[in-house]
Structure 1
Amino acid sequence: MNIVFVEPHFPRNQREFVRALAEAGAHVLGVGETPAEYLDEQLRSWLGHYKQVRSVTDTDEMTAVVRRLQRLVWVDRLEATIEAHVLPAAVVRERTGIPGTSVRTAWLCRDKPSMKEALREAGIRTAASTAADSASQVRSFADRVGYPLILKPREGAGAASTSRVDTEADLEQALAAFGSSVTSIAVEEFIEGHEGFYDTLTLDGHVVLDFSCHYYPGVLEAMRNRWISPQYVSTNRIDGGGLYDEMRRLGQQVVEALGIETSATHMEWFHGPKGLIFSEIGARPPGVGCWDLYSNGNDIDVYRAWADALVHGHVGQRPSRSHAAGIIALRPDRDGRISGYSGLDDIQHRYGQWVIDAHLPEPGTGTQPVEAGYMANAWIRMRHPDYDELRRMLDDVGQSVQVHAH
């Protein structure tokens, strides 16, 4: 099977998708923005062909490249695993007759107001929302729905440029911050409750592999407060019924409503006074190394399971659910350059056997802003057979380890 894979070099975990496809027996044709000479020998060994393009989101350029490849070999699949690449890849698929996620499905998984409208039509509970092309439309929605509200660019990903507004004054301040650079805004009702996510691998429209994580605290709060050492934790209790059974039923409904066939998915949810409420979905794997946590906690290679679904049409591996696994982000105490760490030796002594890996930038390394995410600065990943004990350990890490900057 010949598979075109979009952007195999950056970010670094992209190589794991290429590795898995090659191990599954695919002939991988890479297309990316990195010059070929920058690819390391190992990555080259997994790629049967590589073509550099100016931009992988330029659909005309990508279409031309894929058509040239089609004149050389039969192309069975074209795959993209980064949020910003999913819709352009779908456009190229439809232009070139390659099976995979459709433009309609990719658009619904990218454009949050359209997504929520389609899900409500399918009877799925989600926040009230709209797409607003003017400040007056935003104000009209606020008058109708009330506060608090969430505002973000219509094609935003994660918590990027997202604002919570609780009053009319907050709303005006948020609208001013968007300025003229954002022409369409996704506006939605704020849902109170615990926030988590549900990640799946689907095959022919059916969920065949799944995992669930919990955020501590919610993403918006975590990305706005430096003093917080935020975590997300993958549970090994997903087979325990209750909320997780409800979440699984909801996830399958979403997959069917949006026409997702064979794909990785990343779904966000809230659980609170209004029950389980669906938030949003991406037709792609989760970011920030989440599949690495799933692999470590479940004694499987999730990347290879994804590749087997694409190449062979089945998934032979089953998750063991042996461990919960999580990551804690460790923020520098200020912006600048990292000067050192405190508390690491104590944590290593207490929990060394449960540490999966860590990223601790050398002193002198420039810091990244808090809103850059969970893996922007220092972080530690851990696992433990008991979910509650893992949560306690991660809390202890957050209280004990300090990242100093100057």
Structure 2
Amino acid sequence: MPTVLFAAPLFSESASRMVRAIGSLPDVRLGVITQDPAEQADDATRRALHAHWRIDDVCDPGQLRWAIDALIQRLGRPDVLFGAYEQLQVPLAEERERLGIPGLSSEAARNFRDKARMKEVLRAAGLPCARHGLAGTPAEAHAFAQATGFPLVVKPPAGAGSQATFRANDPHELAAALDAAPPSPERPVLLEEFVVGDEHSLETISIGGRAVWHSLTRYYPNPLEVLRNPWIQWCVVLPREVDDARFDDIRQVGADALRALGMTTGLSHMEWFRRRDGSVAIGEVGARPPGAQITTLVSRATDTDFVRAWAELMVFGTFTPPTRKYAAGIAYLRGQGNGSGVVRAVHGLDRLSDATRSLATDWQLPPLGAPPRSTYEGDGWVLVRHPDTSIVNRALQEIIENVRVEVS
């Protein structure tokens, strides 16, 4: 009977889904660490728990260690210790090493977490990625810009999910980005060449350091453009043809990158670009599941519970590759109007064709009266699937052209 400890900041919808998936595995004793009290979890999530420990900050290494040791007193030494949150990967790896638990090493976790270090590892391995540099002062940032040229991407070295990420098209926009997140020698900013091309993701299952399965998506448009234009309703498409020969290059680059960074067993999420000349470039890689409902897209494209498959991988080290039956895509709905108001209505659902409605498998609409969300995932979404990728693309286009979230 394996003892599993799982850490997450909150009992969010995503984290609760993961907790239930782990708890559904046979003979697992599950302890969970969160900042939320157990009472915040829904009934099904609470039933999955054998023990719970609440702390104020799961990313504080001292508090995390205290919680782990407290759960060890209740459940015994864990066989597995993990989490999905990007900012937890290094402290969890350090705790695994302290306790002698198998898993991603702290050295490898830092390769994934520190994006400047990641780029250095990838470049040393001869892998294609954007030119980059760290700047501890505005003067260093402007010097990098002068040497590299515009546009540039400005972000924290340990960011996640496009958080605090800016595109600078000229010296004035670079200065504005530096004012928003002033660099210092202790907290430098990461500057990267802005790669012109189509942006994608690559999800990979690795076992024992070997890539054994993959999936990929295409973003329409790129996330940075979405962040710069809060009115844009955007889409993520998982094509059925992920094994097509046109993706051979990124599959090989992805496997080589994971090997260079030190991936062992787990699910990784890589953001990558197809440049205008057809070549590929790595954006960044996370040693964690993807966000933006991509795990749900994989689930619907394969008629499986992909989150449970990931849980089985992390707990037992086993994975059964699912059969891809469909293309799948998700349209993100973003509030239109006064961004400081509240959601007043959702318009246009009645204008969707019966054909598009029949393809929808999942959707989430914002409650009326709720404030609009500032994240790039927006205020709601609709997920569709069909065996033909082109039909999925047309359905998504119809959704984003007709459905509007009114903010007033």
Q: Deviations over 1:168-219 (max 9, x none)?
A: 2222222222236993101011111000000112111112232100000011
Instruction: Tell me if structure 2 keeps the 8 A contact 1:2–1:77.
Output: yes
SS of residue matched to 1:18:
helix
Give the Cα–Cα distance (whole angstroms) in 1 for the partners of residues 290 and 310 of structure 2: 13
How far 1:319 sits from its partner (Å)? Answer: 2.5
Which whole-Å CA distance do the structure 2 matches of 1:199 and 1:359 have between them? Answer: 24
AA partner of residue 205 (structure 2) = L
Distance 2:283 2:93 in 1: 23
Contact 1:63 1:95 in 2 (8 A): no
Query: Residues of 2 paired with 1:271 and 1:233: CA distance?
Result: 15
* Residue 210 (structure 2) aligns with: 206
Could you tell me how far 1:96 is from its partner in structure 2? Answer: 2.5
Match of 1:345 in 2: 350
The code of the aligned residue for 1:364 comes to G
> Per the alignment, do residues 245 and 166 of structure 1 end up closer, same or farther by CA in structure 2, a change over 3 Å counting?
same
The correspondence for 2:111, drawn from 108, 128, 134, is: 108
Aligned to 2:142: 139
Q: 1:154-165 counterparts in 2 under 5 A?
A: 154-165=157-168
Greater CA drift, 145-154 or 161-170: 161-170
The question of whether the paired residues in 2 share the 8 Å contact of 1:82 and 1:284 is answered with yes
Gaps of 5+ in 2: none
Note if 1:183 corresponds to 2:187: yes
| Equivalent residue, structure 2, for 1:95 | 98
Q: Take 1:99 and 1:213, find their aligned partners in 2: how far apart are those partners? A: 30
The equivalent residue for 2:281 is 277
> 2:265 maps to which residue?
262
What does residue range 260-339 of structure 1 map to in structure 2 within 5 Å?
260-274=263-277, 275-316=279-320, 318-334=321-337, 335=339, 336-339=341-344
Preserved CA contact (<8 Å) 1:197 1:268: yes
Task: Give TM-score scaled by structure 2 length.
Answer: 0.93
**Pair 7,178 (structure 1): closer, same or farther in 2 beyond 3 Å:** closer
TM-fit CA distance, 1:36: 2.1
For residue 173 of structure 1, what is the aligned residue in structure 2? Answer: 176
Equivalent residue number for residue 404 of structure 1 = 406
Question: Does 2:25 match 1:24?
Answer: yes
Which residue does the alignment assign to 1:42? 44
Identical pairs, percent:
33
Equivalent residue number for residue 390 of structure 2? 388
State the Cα distance separating 1:19 from its structure 2 match.
2.2
Alignment-mate amino acid for residue 47 of structure 1? L
Change (3 A) 1:64 1:362: closer
Q: Distance in 1 between matches of 2:394 and 2:211?
A: 31
Matched, 1:358 2:363: yes
Q: Map of 1:192-231 to 2, 5 A cutoff?
A: 192-231=196-235
Instruction: State the SS of the aligned residue for 1:47.
Output: coil
- 2:201 partner SS: strand
1:348 Cα deviation (Å)? 5.7
CA offsets, 1:215-252, max 9 Å, x none? 0001100122133211111111011112x111111111
In 2, Cα distance between the equivalents of 1:153 and 1:204?
Answer: 30
Alpha-carbon distance between aligned partners in 2 of 1:353 and 1:310, rounded to the nearest angstrom: 35
Measured in 2, the distance between the counterparts of 1:96 and 1:247 equals 36
SS for the counterpart of 1:21 is helix
3-state SS, counterpart of residue 191 of structure 1: coil
Superposition TM-score, scaled by structure 1 size: 0.94
Instruction: Tell me if the contact between 1:8 and 1:18 (Cα under 8 Å) persists in the aligned partners.
Output: no
What does residue range 49-68 of structure 1 map to in structure 2 within 5 Å?
49-68=51-70
Pick which of 49-58 and 306-315 moved more: 306-315
Q: Which amino acid aligns with 1:382?
A: V
| One-letter amino acid matched to 1:360 | L
Q: Does the C-alpha gap of structure 1 residues 131 and 299 become closer, same or farther in structure 2, counting only changes over 3 Å?
A: same
Deviation of the 1:8 alpha carbon? 7.8
4+ aligned runs moved over 6 Å, structure 1: none
Assess if the C-alpha contact under 8 Å between 2:20 and 2:44 holds in 1.
no
Whole-angstrom distance in 2 between the partners of 1:76 and 1:357? 35
Residue 320 (structure 1) shift: 2.1
The 8 Å contact of residues 269 and 279 in structure 1, kept in 2 or not, is answered as: yes
Q: For the Cα contact (< 8 Å) 1:215–1:231, is it kept in 2? A: yes
8 Å contact kept, 1:150–1:165: yes
Q: Distance in 2 between matches of 1:249 and 1:330?
A: 34
Contact 1:211 1:238 in 2 (8 A): yes
Q: Is the 8 A contact 1:197 1:212 kept in 2?
A: yes
Whether the 8 Å contact between 2:138 and 2:183 is mirrored in structure 1 is no
Please say if residues 112 and 118 of structure 2, whose CA atoms lie closer than 8 Å, have aligned partners that are also in contact: yes
What letter corresponds to residue 343 of structure 2 in structure 1?
A: I
